[in-house]
Amino acid sequence: MNTTPYSVTRSSQAARIAAILGAVTLVVLIAAPWWAGRADMRLMGELFLYLSLATLWNLMAGYAGLVSVGQQAYVGFGGYMLFALTMFGGLHPLAAIALAGILGALISIPVAVLIFRLRGAYFAIGTWVIAEVFRLGFAQVSALGGGSGSSLPVAIVKSLASKRAMRESLSYWLALGAAVLVISAVYLFLRSRKGLALTAIRDNEMAASSLGIDIWRTKFIVYVVTSAFTAMIGALIFLQKLRISPDAAFSVNDWTAFVIFIVVIGGIGTIEGPIIGTLVFFLLRETLADLGTTYLIVLGVVAIVVMLKAPKGIWGLIRSRFELQIFPLGYRVTKRN
């Protein structure tokens, strides 16, 4: 049967090398508590959480075409669920994080039904309204500190681990684990049948629909799953911060603007994009931090320039030059020699 001179491959040499490098990096990162300082671990933990948020936003906007500027709704919701479930439900923080994800999924269902009525850019602002409703709603709950917020009680913090160093390592590993989980989940999802449907919708909605793909349902599933994961990341973020307030939890700048810039700069609609974007974002932030607000202006300018001059981002530029794919999603046909 070996008569055809063509073969279909999915992986490539580059992808295999990248996979090995990735595995090595992962081992090094897991070992961070033994080689990194406290400040570095905190920074890396934050980086992993941003990476997770960016990967999730990219799945929604880059693949499902659901451009949301209201993801802070689920970040804040997850954070508040962590506080509520541990303080009043007596749950262990880890159980609360998992449950925050489930509750995030549940609350996203009616939200999706409502805002999926809005198209395109109006959908985007509609998600923002939802986030504002969440913010104002949680600000009304006096048990959670109302508008001024509350801190996580010491007993709950200690229930995670009694020693401070152990707690810091644990929260670092949780952030790293979340990033690995989110990226793997998105990768496996995009390689699955549903992911193929999603990619088809991204490329041409009408053609996808004519092939029998239920567009509404596919987008709905993506929205709900993204919301669940975002709520869990939100819970992790506020487990790191130990303090929550409506303005911090539902900040459009912190949890959506930065995330969007990360994805756009790195390359929207690719798995590699958010990874590169996160690294660039943290590099910019750490070097320009002294400039204060000017740094945000620079970030905005960079995002606009990238969007206009290189809409596929940094990874798009690299890929168009080198034909590279680190996460093999597509198939390629090659001629056998």
Partner 1 sequence: MDWLNAIVQGTLLGGLYALFAAGLSLIFGVMRLVNIAHGDLIVLGAYLGLTVTTATGLHPLMALAIVVPAMALIGYVLQRGLLNQTLGDDLLPPLLVTFGLSVIIQNALLEGYTADPQKLSAGGLETASFAVGGLTLGVLPAVTFAIAIAVIWGLQWVFYHTALGRAFRAVSDNQDIAQLMGLNKRHIFGLAMALALAVTAVAGILLGIRTSFDPSIGGGRLIFGFEAVIIGGLGNLWGTLAGGVILGVAQTIGAKIDPGWQILAGHIAFLIILAVRPNGLFPRISA
For partner 1, which is the closer residue by CB, 26 or 136? 136
- Angle among Cα 120, 199, 281 to the nearest 5 degrees reads 70
How near is the Cβ of 124 to partner 1 at its closest, in Å?
Answer: 6
Q: Which is nearer to partner 1, 160 or 252 (CB)?
A: 252
Of the candidates 231, 281, 278, the one whose C-alpha atom is nearest the C-alpha of residue 54 is 278
d(CA 249, CA 135): 8
Please say which residue, 8 or 308, places its beta carbon nearer to partner 1: 308
CB burial class (10 A; 0-12, 13-18, 19+) of residue 74? buried
Shortest Å distance, C-beta 55 to partner 1: 17
Measured from the CB of residue 136, what is the shortest distance to partner 1 in angstroms?
4
Name the minimum Å distance from CB 215 to partner 1.
16
Min separation Cβ 172 and partner 1, Å: 29
The phi, psi pair for 335, rounded to 5°, reads -85, 130
Residue 289's H or E segment, with its range, is none
**Length of the chain, in residues:** 337
CA pair distance 148, 131, nearest whole angstrom: 18
How does DSSP assign 72-126, residue by residue?
Answer: HHHHHHHHHHHHHHHHTS---HHHHHHHHHHHHHHHHHHHHHHHTTS-HHHHHHH
Distance CA 12, CA 7 (A): 13
Distance, in Å, from the CA atom of 77 to the CA atom of 66, rounded to the nearest integer, reads 20
Q: Which residues pair with 7 in a beta bridge?
A: 334
For residues 82 and 76, what is the distance between their CA atoms, to the nearest angstrom?
10
d(CA 80, CA 135): 10
- Shortest distance, position 287 Cβ to partner 1, whole Å: 17
Residues that bind partner 1 (CB under 8 A): 61, 67, 69, 114-115, 117-122, 124-126, 128-129, 132-133, 136-137, 139-140, 252-253, 257, 260-261, 264, 268, 293-294, 296-297, 299-301, 303-304, 307-308, 311
Residue 319 CA to residue 207 CA, distance in Å, equals: 26
Q: Give the nearer residue to partner 1 in terms of CB position, either 18 or 314.
A: 314
Supply the DSSP string of 291-315, one letter for each residue.
GTHHHHHHHHHHHHHHHHH-TTHHH
β-strand partners of 258: none
* Cβ distance to partner 1 smaller for residue 104 or 246: 246
The nearer residue to partner 1, 99 or 268, going by C-beta atoms, is 268
Nearer of residues 160 and 317 to partner 1, judged by Cβ: 317
- CB 47, min distance to partner 1, A: 21
Q: Please say which residue, 130 or 231, places its beta carbon nearer to partner 1.
A: 130
Shorter beta-carbon distance to partner 1: residue 86 or 108 = 108
For residue 87, the minimal CB distance to partner 1 (Å) is: 22
Closest CA to 271 of 37, 18, 17, 9: 18
Report the nearest approach of partner 1 to the CB of residue 311 (Å). Answer: 7
